[in-house]
A and B are shown apart, each in its own frame.
Chain A
Amino acid sequence: SQKIEQNSEALNIQEGKTATLTCNYTNYSPAYLQWYRQDPGRGPVFLLLIRENEKEKRKERLKVTFDTTLKQSLFHITASQPADSATYLCALKLSGGYNKLIFGAGTRLAVHP
């Protein structure tokens, strides 16, 4: 069956450390993968997109990797800050003309001062 898995348990880290979130998928052939941030009571906000032929993408303190062999994406936040505390969702855009995103359940990140 098709699945997108993100750590269901919250990730607690100390301010200044690097947070690493994982997104694994099975039985999908994504054209690309996106990461979104969601704060309580708000809609998801787009952060980064990485295509199937890209290994890594960076934006300021954010870095995303994409391994289509392992069927996994890693999302890193370096020098984390309490303001980074939120839920982070990965989303797959399927290849083959399907113009919709399939979202993972999200991982909640808590950065402690």
Chain B
Amino acid sequence: DAGVIQSPRHEVTEMGQEVTLRCKPISGHDYLFWYRQTMMRGLELLIYFNNNVPIDDSGMPEDRFSAKMPNASFSTLKIQPSEPRDSAVYFCASSLRQGVDTQYFGPGTRLTVL
């Protein structure tokens, strides 16, 4: 298995632009998680899905952030409009099932908003 795949690996954009981050979870995993990691705040959970349905989005910072999972093999995290404080590394992770939820992380997308 190729593991969790994220794209792009690096994204540099200007303030106010729309940013879309993509994730392909491990095949057969029921759960998908989006995290943000910064030096100041560490690794924060933004939102997670179970069987393509958003379960908990309490970590989404504000309405500029949205996430979708149209099918079991694809998810997006969108920021519109982007701001410099959104600069961070965004990780996607997936896990097999509830109760034994070892999470498998992707390589991350490093986002820089100028």
State whether A100 and B33 are in contact (beta carbons under 8 Å apart), knowing that A43-B93, A44-B105, A49-B102 are contacts in the complex: yes
Closest residue on chain A to residue B9 by CB atoms: A41
Closest chain B residue, CB of each to CB of A34: B102
A79 CB–B CB distance under 8 Å? no
Q: How large is the interface on B (under 10, 10 to 19, 20 to 34, 35 or more residues)?
A: 20 to 34
CB distance A46 to B104 under 8 Å?
yes
- In chain B, positions 49-92 with a C-beta closer than 8 Å to chain A are 50, 55-56, 91
Instruction: Collect the chain B residues with CB atoms within 8 Å of residue A34's CB.
Output: 102
A13 is an interface residue with CB less than 8 A from chain B = no
The number of residue pairs between A and B whose CB atoms lie closer than 8 Å in the complex comes to 48
Q: Choose among B55, B91, B106, B108 the residue that contacts A99 (Cβ–Cβ < 8 A).
A: B55
Residues of chain A contacted by B108 (CB below 8 angstroms): 41-43
* Complex alpha-carbon distance, A93 and B98, angstroms: 11
* CB–CB A42/B107 < 8 A: yes
Q: Is there a chain A Cβ closer than 8 Å to B114's Cβ? A: no
Closest Cβ of chain B to A19, distance in Å, is 20
Q: Choose among B42, B45, B55, B104 the residue that contacts A101 (Cβ–Cβ < 8 A).
A: B45
Chain B residues close to A by CB (< 8 Å): 4, 31, 33, 42-45, 48, 50, 55-56, 91, 93, 98, 101-108
